[in-house]
Structure 1
């Protein structure tokens, strides 16, 4: 039976509470993970560049961008594109150990990479609201055979952790796995790394959050007293990485922290005043374009501006955030299994561009993370 929901995170405007789950779980080994709603941050820094008008700025930012050709790698064996005005974007936080990220990531420094944060962002027709579905990295899945962007084919695997898809075949295999799980074609792909996320928060001037209890986690370099805080980039990275500092030490609990922080981040973008501060605008745009890797269709400043422009009206109050329906694995308390029946309610809602029903997540595993209140 799944653990019940816990008070974990109170979303903005929420006054209700949820009971602590009855089950106890062994604390999992901490690993790097990031937030990420890269699209919202990019919207703040990039969409307004249309008014900058400087050719130098355009070419500089265009040169910052990295893209991967997902369509070429995956070919025609994909779900049919849903043509109803909605968009589905896979957003990953890449846990690369290469370059400067070795210092931020901890653990090994062999240059390997994982995707410890994964979210499906569904933007509804009209681009006035969105649903975000977090995929727990500890979910055991059947990974389909896939071909990466270098042309290397990787065999299918059964019962492996979700984030193994990215470490095996990069962005293309991660997209292939998500499409296999959901039956939904991902229209776009966005990825952000450790260093980029930390710098984005610093360029924004920090992000305001309130913690309901002390959070201390030496592994993620986090030490916060209960109360209001304006987190700098290093602290923000620590918050979205921590799993020992709060709750039961699970990835599900960490997802609750990440979701609360993302809403605070979006609110901060709205209040930071980049439109009236050209230097802050350009610093943010420079950092954002360096921080993200996109699919090839978004691989230019013009394309990214158009895309981000379509998202800029979606505030945190117009964003529904849930965790993919899962249950704890009876054989291993540090792993979770897809609740296929309830997950199908989520996928059907996205396909039909409808709100996710409450029944889709009722009774599913949620973890414990008493932490952030926006």
Structure 2
């Protein structure tokens, strides 16, 4: 099938690109599109906060319950999907939402047109027994064949070839994003969580910041980040800058940014374990209120009771129990601003998730990395 001729979605006010464009100088010279990636990292932490929010009753319960937005993924996708595993393991697609309306407008820097993009995606595989998890990041710049899909409003969208992965969400929202991930991986997504970056910033602030250690100085005017090497307690604004910085570390690519996001997730998970949520009922409620406002879930998780039950099964998973990898990719030889799937190695990843086994180290050896590993660690 021929490559799609329409431009890839970019930041409002900027032109998009296609895989057929002239070759640029490489990842170090990529233009910052202000994509505000990594916002999905709040989802795991938000879920844990919601579990604790179940201590409330009456009005507080109904208020929190009313905050949760949900979409009926199963209805939109129908029955033509990968087989659901029945051993207690679960796969959750977590997306970061870059909406340009409301509170997000000043953070996104775009127009108040209500548009939204998902510039970060992670598959969280929770193993049988819910003691360990693997997290697979999918780079937004991966060129893929997007399947035909029907969104939650019943609108059908045509298939497209050689388009960026994040076009799935901008084309057909959550349902098309899930459909695309399942088509790429052959792995059934049991649940869906989406986090917007305005909620992410507020959550970090309400947690009192998140402590990280930078092994190198990070300075990026595009993401308004200026950190010396050393230990820092990041505010929400700084955390948002860290997880979206591209020029400040590594080779300047999305892959480097993903490595920062993965390091920050681990720091965030550890932070939640040490902030003493039970010491203040008011703080607990504020966190739960912000968390439930920040997430959109699939309809199976679309109530406080369902979300509490689900996240209760995740709370024993610590940062040390999380194996974080990036979907195996290589830079596209015809356009170094894009990546393509390393099919043989990616198959090792998907087979591991399907069979509920650890992802082998060989799956990611020799793949593109972004060269930012070890720049940020949990303190």
Fold similarity call, TM over 0.5:
yes
- Alpha-carbon shift at residue 217 of structure 1 (Å): 1.2
Separation in 2, partners of 1:373, 1:44? 22
Residue in structure 1 matched with residue 212 of structure 2 by the alignment: 209
**Which whole-Å deviations, capped at 9, do the CAs of 1:80-106 have from their partners, x for residues lacking one?**
111111000000001111112111112
Separation in 2, partners of 1:117, 1:91? 8
TM-score (normalizing by structure 1): 0.91
Aligned residues: 351
Give the one of 71, 76, 80 matched to 2:74: 71
Alpha carbon RMSD of aligned pairs, Å?
A: 1.3
Separation in 1, partners of 2:369, 2:169? 24
Give the one of 313, 318, 337 matched to 1:334: 337
- Alpha-carbon shift at residue 183 of structure 1 (Å): 0.5
- Alpha-carbon shift at residue 50 of structure 1 (Å): 2.9
- Alpha-carbon shift at residue 151 of structure 1 (Å): 0.7
Residue in structure 2 matched with residue 43 of structure 1 by the alignment: 47
Separation in 2, partners of 1:39, 1:308? 10
Trace 1:297-308 onto structure 2 (pairs within 5 A): 297-308=300-311
Separation in 2, partners of 1:235, 1:139? 27
TM-score (normalizing by structure 2): 0.90
1:196 matched to 2:199: yes
Q: Aligned with 2:54: secondary structure?
A: helix
Residue in structure 1 matched with residue 134 of structure 2 by the alignment: 131
Q: Aligned with 1:37: secondary structure?
A: helix
- Alpha-carbon shift at residue 111 of structure 1 (Å): 2.4
1:324 matched to 2:327: yes
List gaps (5 residues or longer) in structure 2. 1-24
- Alpha-carbon shift at residue 223 of structure 1 (Å): 1.2
- Alpha-carbon shift at residue 360 of structure 1 (Å): 0.5
Separation in 2, partners of 1:195, 1:107? 14
* Alignment check: 8 A CA contact 2:38 2:258 kept: no
Residue in structure 1 matched with residue 17 of structure 2 by the alignment: none
Separation in 2, partners of 1:195, 1:49? 20
List gaps (5 residues or longer) in structure 1. 1-22
- Alpha-carbon shift at residue 373 of structure 1 (Å): 2.1
1:155 matched to 2:158: yes
